Amino acid sequence: MNKKIAVIKGDGIGPEVVTEAMKVLDKTAEKFGHSFEYDQLLMGGCSIDANGVPLTDETIEKAKAADAVLMGSIGGNTATSPWYKLPADKRPEAGLLKLRKSLNLFANLRPALLYGELKDACPLKAEIAERGFDMMIMRELTGGLYFGARKTEEVDGIVTATDTLTYNENEIRRIAVRAFDIAMKRRKKVTSVDKANVLDSSRLWRKIVEEVAKDYPEVSYEHMLVDNCAMQLVKDPAQFDVVLTENMFGDILSDEASMITGSIGMLASASLNDTKFGLYEPSGGSAPDIAGQNKANPIATILSAAMLLRYSFDMDKEADAVEAAVAKVLKDGYRTGDIMSEGMKLVSCSEMGDVIAANI
């Protein structure tokens, strides 16, 4: 099978980790008789440097023409980078928000799995880590505060900033349906996270989720306030299967979930639209402090590539092979610096890509 993948390597460690994911994809294609064609595009800070904007219309059109998009992290040091002296709509992250909107990527999937071999890297108490966890955080991606109207103005002589949180029932229903569909393939439990004791948008969220749940009698579901969920993630993460939530809450909770896996470098991510098309990226940032040093952990990006194979290309066996290779490498004791522990084998970013590809 021949597939075209748009590749956005991004900023910071992005080019390093995406290169390793491409290495693993190429090895998978070789083993299973496929061919992958890559169209390398610019977005984020590198696009600002080259084009003056974080995302060009040409990049959007080329991304739409591909079968899927594989992406590294974007952005830089917000305190020192000249990118963050630009207006908000010209900064690197504005390009990502625009791309998500342009591609109608409304459903963000972020699995958080604690590998048994990384229990020592988990920052939680040993008895909690010992129980392990395997959850899927479903984050609505194109609504809420991040896409609402915003302004900064002077009101009665006082500078005032306003951000608007807006959701309609259709936006909520379509992400809820995705969450319940995925729960049917997992352990059949959905935890819907909101702030319904304060926000009107959350009360509507809760109402629509309850309506969707009626179509899935096999799936148990519960509502949980976001502050309680943040606590439960570090107290008893094993209780969660599918966590369904809105944009900003999902942004924060998925990063928290990534850290309890042992490293943010372990958490993959997929953003899907109404078809098989998706954008796949690691959940972590661009880590400019270690960029270019061959120290980054590429596993999250490699696992994102496995999700690309599974969700956009329907290549389940190939995705299984990549995930099994990652598990084997961890079992064999290979570690990048962020997940290193005593007695393990410290490897660079490129060496980790090499050993994973060798185990496909």
Each domain of the chain, given as residue ranges in start order, spans 1-106+274-360, 123-260
- Identified catalytic residue from 11, 194, 251, 354: 251
Q: Are 359 and 328 in contact (CB under 8 A)?
A: yes
- Identified catalytic residue from 98, 115, 146, 194: 146
In this predicted structure, the answer to whether residue 200 has a pLDDT above a threshold of 90 is: yes
- Identified catalytic residue from 49, 120, 227, 316: 227
Q: Which residues contact 332 (CB under 8 A, 6 or more apart)?
A: 345, 355
- Identified catalytic residue from 26, 39, 134, 255: 255
Quote the pLDDT of residue 75: 95
Known active-site residue 236: no
Q: Which residues contact 228 (CB under 8 A, 6 or more apart)?
A: none
**Do the two domains 1-106+274-360 and 123-260 of this chain adopt the same fold?**
yes
Q: Are 209 and 172 in contact (CB under 8 A)?
A: yes
Domain 1-106+274-360 CATH (choose: 2.60.40.290, 3.40.190.10, 3.10.20.30, 3.40.718.10): 3.40.718.10
DSSP 240-309: -SEEEE-HHHHHHHHHHHHHHTT-GGG---EEE-SSS-EEE--SS---TTTTTTT----HHHHHHHHHHH
Spatial distance between the Cα atoms of 226 and 312, rounded to a whole number of angstroms: 31
Structure confidence by residue, pLDDT tens digits, 118-167: 888 889 999 999 999 999 999 999 899 998 999 999 999 999 999 999 99
Known active-site residue 255: yes
The pair phi, psi for residue 345, each rounded to 5°, is -100, 110
Spatial distance between the Cα atoms of 246 and 171, rounded to a whole number of angstroms: 10
Spatial distance between the Cα atoms of 253 and 275, rounded to a whole number of angstroms: 26
Polymer length in residues for the chain? 360
User: How does DSSP classify residue 221?
Assistant: E
Mean pLDDT for the chain?
Answer: 95
Quote the pLDDT of residue 174: 95
In this predicted structure, the answer to whether residue 330 has a pLDDT above a threshold of 90 is: yes
Spatial distance between the Cα atoms of 319 and 327, rounded to a whole number of angstroms: 12
In this predicted structure, the answer to whether residue 285 has a pLDDT above a threshold of 90 is: no
Known active-site residue 195: yes
8 vs 181, more confident? 8
Q: Assign a CATH topology to domain 123-260.
A: Isopropylmalate Dehydrogenase (3.40.718)
Spatial distance between the Cα atoms of 126 and 321, rounded to a whole number of angstroms: 30
